[in-house]
Amino acid sequence: MIEFNQNDLPAQDEELRWGLGDVAIGIFASLFLSVLIGGTIMALAGWGSIADAPMWGLALLQIPLWAGYLGAVVFAGSKGRGVIADFGLRMRAFDAPLGLALGIFCQLLVLPLLYAPIFSLTGTDKEALSRPAEQLAEGTDGTFSWLLFALLVGILAPVVEELFYRGLLLKALEKRRMPVWAAVLVSSILFAGMHMQTLQFPGLLLVGLVAGTLAAITGRLGPSIWLHIGFNMTTVVALFMEMRS
């Protein structure tokens, strides 16, 4: 029988002065900084859209977004026992192979099964699903840019997003005495919705649900981070093979 780990928060929740307000701050800050700073960078550089930016430009544009997320996590942790203790930023040796295997499995096997009826009902296809990722990868023009793309999409994005959505957000919902299954569902919906991609929403929701379940069961972010890395890196490798062939 699967049991969720609910021992990470102390009985005296009032000692932890962070919560959903910090989540709201993080979301607002990430969006505000992205529009203000990201928009300024794009205007000065003459990029009409993110797809027009070179890979180093894409990296630059991620800084405001991630600064909002990470700033909220660090700020919230400073009001409690710290990021490691409060949000489960811990890892065990088995987390990497478990998470990577699940991430690759979800990307290669579960996602096609999930989208088969969606493609049929909506008249879309695999090309439409992968188009946003392909547009990001268009800025790659050599070995360095591909390595930077892999770092951004395959490693840094999973770490930042897991810290915010499965760390701060999931724990904040649990702190409000929401049932764990509901907290996993709500955090997954918000995670998928914040990407603002309609066709990609079901796949992102799938990742959120699996990652949230891992975080809830283990009480650690290690498994969910590695799952997210495995999922995203599979896309990076597939794009590399497709665009270099």
Q: Where are the domains of the chain?
A: 13-244
Instruction: With H, G, I as helix, E, B as strand and everything else as coil, classify residue 214.
Output: helix
* ∠ Cα 113 232 137 (to 5°): 110
Taking the alpha carbons of 100, 104, 105, 107 in that order, is the dihedral positive or negative?
A: positive
Average pLDDT score over residue span 134-145:
88
What integer pLDDT is reported at residue 11 of this predicted model? 43
Average pLDDT score over residue span 72-89:
96
Of 88-92, 134-138, 149-153, 194-198, the range with the lowest mean pLDDT is: 134-138
